[in-house]
Amino acid sequence: MKMHIAVLGSSPLAEPLVKLAERADDTVYWVRAVGAPLPADRAADLVILAGSPAAVEPLLASIAESVARDVVIVDATTPTQEKRGDDGSAQRASRSGWIAKALPRVPVVRAFASVPADALANLLNAPAAQQAGRLAVPFAGDDRKAKAVVESFMRDIGVDPFDLGPSGTADALDPGGALWGKALSSVEMLEAVGLLSGDG
């Protein structure tokens, strides 16, 4: 099913995500400034936050009235240096807090931020259906239906979804985390996750 997607922010991830979604024939709105309107006739089904929390927060607040009631948020933000710390639970609470302020009770899936933007951009030069060695994108979240939506989007744009589990596992996707900045295939991801869990 084709989706209506809003990409908020101007991080290096934003442009390749927009172009990949457009290639998959999704309807995409790239919001880079407060006040940029979304079409009134069709609410966004998926909102991807691609930038620093400080940059994306006002954008999210500005479109909060223009999203579907069952919208799914993809948190692809990169914490700023002052937000990075040893207390992962505090960091997660801080991140989810500002998202919940704009859109209460909306499910959030952490995804894409750990993947180098160049790895996503390289997909634009490859066939969408290419299977061998496809890029795997790890994600984490607590809402199964929301994760299914994100998985479907990932497959549509030509990457393999890799479910790490609940939101508590998202630390691996953050700066300094074991999967941060890595472009891996599904097989390589399995090996990396096995090492993380002590199974490798």
- The pLDDT assigned to 82 comes to 47
Coil, helix or strand at residue 127: coil
Buried b / exposed e along 112-128 (16+ C-beta atoms within 10 A): bbbbebebbbebeeeee
Kindly state the DSSP code that residue 125 receives in the 8-state scheme: T
Question: Which pTM was predicted?
Answer: 0.87
pLDDT grade for 1, boundaries at 50, 70 and 90: low
Look-up: residue for tokens 């940059």? 55
Residue 14: closest CA among 47, 50, 46: 50
pLDDT tens-digit readout, 38-70: 776 677 889 999 999 999 999 998 888 878 788
- Do residues 86 and 45 touch, judged by C-beta distance below 8 A? no
What domains appear along the chain, each with residue ranges and CATH number? 4-197 (3.40.50.720)
C-alpha to C-alpha distance for 77 and 49, rounded to whole angstroms? 6
